[in-house]
Amino acid sequence: MRQNGVEPVMHVVTMGALVVAAALWWRARRRVAATSLRSAWWWGLAAVLVANAAAAVSLVDPASIGLGNHLWYAACVLWLCPAVSVLGGRRPAAQAWSLFVVFPLFLVLEWPVTGVALVAPLTGATSGTVFGPVALEWPTVIGWGLVLVMGAGNYLGTRWTLPVLLVVVGLGGLIWPMAPWVRSGLDSGTAASCRLAGGLAIVLALVRASFSRRIRGNVGQPDDDDQASSGRLDRAWVDFRDTFGLVWARRVEDRVNEDLRRLGGDVLLGVAGLEFHGEGALLPAERDAASERAEATLRRLWRRFVDDEWVDSRLGASVEAPLGATDSSRL
């Protein structure tokens, strides 16, 4: 297929953006090293590498539209896997979740496209090229879109809201040229423009995520010891919520609040940390007891998600859980 003079430039810029995205994703491995989200990181690495392969095919061999389409679609499916992997990020089942849930999901979404293309020559359904141009069917796009919304929704309201929305826009750009509503076909220049916009949105999301992390670490610390202790607990809680998403945060929050109610005070764990209702009626000793109880319970529950070094780096040395504190096995 003949290209105009702008298309090779767009392919180069797209691949450059995805190379930067791969570098940023590689650097992010240290953030999940002490958590149960290492599988999610590996899925993301596979996604960004396949996206780079698709960009390389589009750049080196523009005539291989079919192969490029299959790689772009595979990348779009792989980008869903990290978010789905997070939903099963509780130990000891995190690895099994990737094997028995995330991987089958990948196969189910891939089968109508690449799976059928690979099997067709064996069944005699086609005698042409194996990887022809991809025209997605509505059920495939709807299924892919539902998983995308589910995964993205887990992080809406966290500090990753903007990066997640940018990734959604980016994936929309990558998959747009194959969507059923453009079945009449896009010219190669328009398709390249969509992939360029998608690649730029994804790399902007990763840049924004890295920048957001640095800002978070520069927030000023309270000077008062009691406030500092409460502030550390609140920041650790928000960090956990932002890392594992709203689903796991809500489950942990419910368990902590169930435990705090046993103290009989008006103290609850909320979105931003501990909330003391009717503070005038709470003595300092009662506030300290509630904070210690919440910290001990969170430490115990977090063992299912993160290593001790993750917790200690945010809260300091470990404290013993009081009698009756919620057991992590109840999550």
Binning pLDDT at 50, 70 and 90, where does residue 282 land?
low
Looking at the structure, tell me whether residues 210 and 235 fall in a common domain: no
Q: Which of 176, 200, 177, 172 is nearest to 188 (CA)?
A: 177
Residue 262 has a CB neighbour count (10 Å cut-off) of 12
Looking at the structure, tell me whether residues 194 and 245 fall in a common domain: no
CB 325 within 8 A of CB 55: no
Looking at the structure, tell me whether residues 241 and 133 fall in a common domain: no
How many percent of the chain have pLDDT more than 90? 63
Looking at the structure, tell me whether residues 137 and 263 fall in a common domain: no
**What does the pLDDT read at residue 284?**
74
Residue 2 falls within a domain, yes or no? no
Number of domains in the chain: 2
**What does the pLDDT read at residue 229?**
61
Overall pTM surpassing 0.75 (yes/no):
yes
Give me 269's structure tokens: 């764990």
**What does the pLDDT read at residue 310?**
95
Mean pLDDT along residues 23-40: 94
Give me 275's structure tokens: 């909330």
Mean pLDDT along residues 104-111: 96
For the ranges 95-109, 213-227, 301-315, the lowest mean pLDDT is seen at 213-227
Mean pLDDT along residues 202-230: 64
Looking at the structure, tell me whether residues 24 and 156 fall in a common domain: yes
**What does the pLDDT read at residue 217?**
44
The string of DSSP letters for 41-56 reads: HHHHHHHHHHHHHHHH
Does residue 194 carry a pLDDT above 90?
Answer: yes
Contacts of 129 (CB under 8 A, 6+ apart): 66
**What does the pLDDT read at residue 281?**
59
Residue 75 falls within a domain, yes or no? yes
Q: Give residue-wise pLDDT tens across range 121-180.
A: 777 656 566 778 888 999 999 999 999 999 999 999 999 999 999 999 999 999 999 999
What is the rounded distance in angstroms from the CA atom of residue 191 to the CA atom of residue 174?
Answer: 9
174 vs 279 pLDDT, higher one:
174
284 vs 4 pLDDT, higher one:
284
For the ranges 24-38, 52-66, 190-204, 311-325, the lowest mean pLDDT is seen at 311-325
What is the rounded distance in angstroms from the CA atom of residue 143 to the CA atom of residue 113?
Answer: 13
How far apart, in Å, are the Cα atoms of 168 and each of 79, 176, 189, 271, 330?
10, 12, 22, 24, 34
Output the average pLDDT for the chain: 86
The residue segments making up the domain with residue 273 are 225-330
**What does the pLDDT read at residue 280?**
58
Binning pLDDT at 50, 70 and 90, where does residue 323 land?
very low
Mean pLDDT along residues 266-280: 82
**What does the pLDDT read at residue 3?**
57
Q: Which of 160, 195, 217 is the last residue of a domain?
A: 217
Measured at the CA of 112, the angle between CA 205 and CA 94, to 5 degrees, comes to: 55
Looking at the structure, tell me whether residues 141 and 39 fall in a common domain: yes
**What does the pLDDT read at residue 118?**
85
**What does the pLDDT read at residue 117?**
84
What is the rounded distance in angstroms from the CA atom of residue 289 to the CA atom of residue 93?
Answer: 33
Q: Which of 188, 217, 246 is the last residue of a domain?
A: 217
Mean pLDDT along residues 70-97: 95
Looking at the structure, tell me whether residues 117 and 12 fall in a common domain: yes
Q: Which of 201, 217, 233 is the last residue of a domain?
A: 217
Which CATH number characterizes residue 30's domain? 1.20.1070
**What does the pLDDT read at residue 215?**
44
197 vs 223 pLDDT, higher one:
197
Q: Is 243 helix (H, G, I), strand (E, B) or coil?
A: helix
Mean pLDDT along residues 183-210: 89
Handedness of CA 134, 139, 145, 146 (dihedral sign): negative
Does residue 260 carry a pLDDT above 50?
Answer: yes
Looking at the structure, tell me whether residues 164 and 105 fall in a common domain: yes
What is the rounded distance in angstroms from the CA atom of residue 160 to the CA atom of residue 155?
Answer: 6
Q: Residue 276: beta bridge partners?
A: 267
For the ranges 44-58, 238-252, 263-277, the lowest mean pLDDT is seen at 263-277
Binning pLDDT at 50, 70 and 90, where does residue 290 land?
confident
For the ranges 4-13, 64-73, 259-268, 314-323, the lowest mean pLDDT is seen at 314-323
Q: What is residue 161's DSSP assignment?
A: H
**What does the pLDDT read at residue 222?**
40
